[in-house]
Amino acid sequence: DIQMTQSPASLSASVGETVTITCRASENIYSYLAWYQQKQGKSPQLLVYNAKTLAEGVPSRFSGSGSGTQFSLKINSLQPEDFGSYYCQHHYGTPLTFGAGTKLELK
Amino acid sequence: EVKLEESGGGLVQPGGSMKLSCAASGFTFSDAWMDWVRQSPEKGLEWVAEIRSKANNHATYYAESVKGRFTISRDDSKSSVYLQMNSLRAEDTGIYYCTRHDYAFDYWGQGTTLTVSS
């Protein structure tokens, strides 16, 4: 199975800051990488797929990059609604696996 | 508007069975690949099972941890997907989400909670 390793596990930031979350795959997944946001008590929501394609309705302050085994999610100018947990997931065939998550907290 | 609504969770004893249902609306269900994903504090988000569309022969795939115990199925006439879970274990406890799989999991239900405990 492909292992997904996310870092950092937690991150404190202020409104207006720019943050980057990274995700590493244990083998080449080309660009088959998705990012999700999850707020407390809610279902995950798709932000990015195919490494850099924003899902419908996702603000442009979110951007994804990378290919192969190294990926990142960048959030420019953090807004209050951006705080929560973020997960990467490969979609390069089954079994699909997720990273352990990054908890983004308000500093 | 796409909607996915799970039902059927609850408390079950180890070794018991439970069937989850997911009613879908707002898209052409018969063309969609549908998955179940679960979440627990111990394991985080974990993909459980997938069933593909009729065009893909309704092929099914399972996580190794549930293979032989869980069965995913669908009824396109009812726009519904199901997860039959047998021989349940404590480690199956969690929130079970129904998802639509289009490239990634682009829509999720609100989740239904399964607790396996004596």
pLDDT score at B103: 86
Chain A interface includes B97 (CB < 8 A): yes
pLDDT score at B110: 98
Residues 7-26 of B with CB under 8 A from A: none
Confidence band of A77 (pLDDT split at 50, 70, 90): very high
Q: What SS3 state is found at A52? A: coil
Please answer yes or no on whether A43 and B45 come within 8 Å at the CB atom. no
Residue in this structure with the two tokens 């998550």, named with its chain if needed: A101
Average pLDDT rounded to a whole number, residues B80-103: 97
Chain A interface includes B108 (CB < 8 A): yes
Report percent pLDDT > 70 for chain B: 100
Which of B47, B63, B97 is nearest residue A43 as measured by Cβ atoms?
A: B97
Residues whose CB is less than 8 angstroms from the CB of residue B65 and which lie 6 or more positions away in sequence, other chains included:
B46, B91
Residue from B51, B103, B112 whose CB has the most chain A CBs within 10 Å, to mutate: B103
pLDDT digits (tens, 9 = 90+) for B28-81: 999 999 999 999 999 999 999 999 999 999 999 999 999 999 999 999 999 999
pLDDT score at B4: 98
Give the whole-angstrom CA distance, residue A44 versus residue A99. 13
Buried b (16+ CB within 10 A) or exposed e, A47-77: bbbebbebbeebeeebbbebeebebbbebee
| Alpha-carbon torsion angle A69, A73, A74, A78, nearest 10 | -160
Please answer yes or no on whether A44 and B97 come within 8 Å at the CB atom. yes
pLDDT digits (tens, 9 = 90+) for A27-63: 999 999 999 999 999 999 999 999 999 999 999 999 9
For all residues of chain A together, what is the average pLDDT?
Answer: 97
Nearest CA in chain A to B97: A43
pLDDT score at A60: 97
Nearest CA in chain A to B47: A96
Cα A65 to Cα A17, A53, A56, B3, B25: the distances in Å are 19, 9, 17, 30, 32
